[in-house]
Amino acid sequence: MKAVYKRLQNRCFAGREGFALPMALVVIIIGLVLSGLIFDIGHSFFSTALKQESLYMDHVAVRDYIEAAKGWLVKYNIDNGRVEHALLRPRPDMPIGSLNDLMVDDPFGTLLEKRHLSFDREALYHRGGAKRVTVNVFDVHYFKENLTPGLLNDTAQMRMLPPPINTVASPSGSGSGLVDIGDATDSTRGRADEKESGSYPWDKYGAYVVRVQLYDVDKNGNRVLKRVVDEAFYQVLGDD
């Protein structure tokens, strides 16, 4: 009887041992799967966070260049009592043959690191590798009649040409006899006949587009365009 009980007991233990081994393997497999999932989720979250941080810092960097250009130009115009226009287009009737004719430049002799309106230099932000930034400010107080046929037929330049931001009416020169009415966004001020013929004086109305281009630079020095932002604004100076 004891021998029979002993054999039954041994079989029970053997059954338990045989059941424990598969269970242990299942637990190990589940643990590995869960660990892999946790690692994958963590890695995906970390990668997404890095990309979002990079995009955010690119956005902040571009905004810094735009606001610096706008602030400098507004103050410069106020200090001078007249708005700055492109050097190659000092009068409103000057034809526009290329994008360069609309470029607004920093004062002559301004060091590269001190420039705000026109430059191409290494960006201050370097996370993820070297970067370069190009800033250009365009004088967009022009009319379509000023565009030469050569520019109109140049597809590449026309794609890059900022649209004009004008006051009411058509081109008119600087000097006396101009009617100072309305503004670039409100056409409800002044009499109807004034609106059709009036315009701000050339030296009192400035319209600009600030273009910032941010590039990644690889180890061979090749540029890859990463972000382009255009922002337009205008400034009207009073008579005083």
User: Which residues face 184 on adjacent strands?
Assistant: none
The mean pLDDT of 65-79, rounded to a whole number, is 95
DSSP 8-state secondary structure symbol assigned to residue 69: H
Residue type, 234: Y
Q: Within a domain: residue 23?
A: no
The residue behind tokens 């430049």 is 105
Cβ neighbours of residue 128 closer than 8 Å, sequence gap 6 or more: 54, 216
| pLDDT of 207 over the 90 cut | yes
Q: Within a domain: residue 2?
A: no
| pLDDT of 39 over the 80 cut | no
Low-confidence winner among 23-32, 72-81, 147-156 (lowest mean pLDDT)? 23-32
The mean pLDDT of 214-238, rounded to a whole number, is 90
The whole-number pLDDT of residue 235 equals 94
The whole-number pLDDT of residue 50 equals 57
How sure is the predictor about 179, in pLDDT bands with cuts at 50, 70 and 90? very low
Q: Within a domain: residue 9?
A: no
| pLDDT of 174 over the 50 cut | no
What's the sign of the alpha-carbon dihedral 159, 157, 58, 129?
positive
Q: Within a domain: residue 118?
A: yes
H helices present in the chain, as ranges: 2-80, 149-152, 155-160, 192-197
Torsion of CA 154, 156, 158, 161, to 10 degrees: -140
Q: Share the mean pLDDT of the chain.
A: 78
Q: Within a domain: residue 39?
A: no
Distances (CA, A) of 63 to 59, 77, 85, 214, 227: 6, 21, 23, 11, 11
Number of domain units in the chain: 1
The mean pLDDT of 21-28, rounded to a whole number, is 73
CA distance 122 to 221: 12
Domain coverage including residue 105: 47-236
Q: Within a domain: residue 25?
A: no
Q: Within a domain: residue 132?
A: yes
The mean pLDDT of 90-107, rounded to a whole number, is 93
The residue behind tokens 């540029």 is 223
Q: Within a domain: residue 78?
A: yes
| pLDDT of 214 over the 70 cut | yes
The whole-number pLDDT of residue 17 equals 54
Kindly provide the b/e burial profile for residues 88-122, where b requires at least 16 CB atoms within 10 angstroms of the residue's own CB: bbeebeeebbebebbbbbbeeeeeeeebbbebeee
Q: Beta strands 103-104 and 205-217: pairing type?
A: unpaired
> pTM (2 decimals)?
0.69
The mean pLDDT of 198-226, rounded to a whole number, is 88
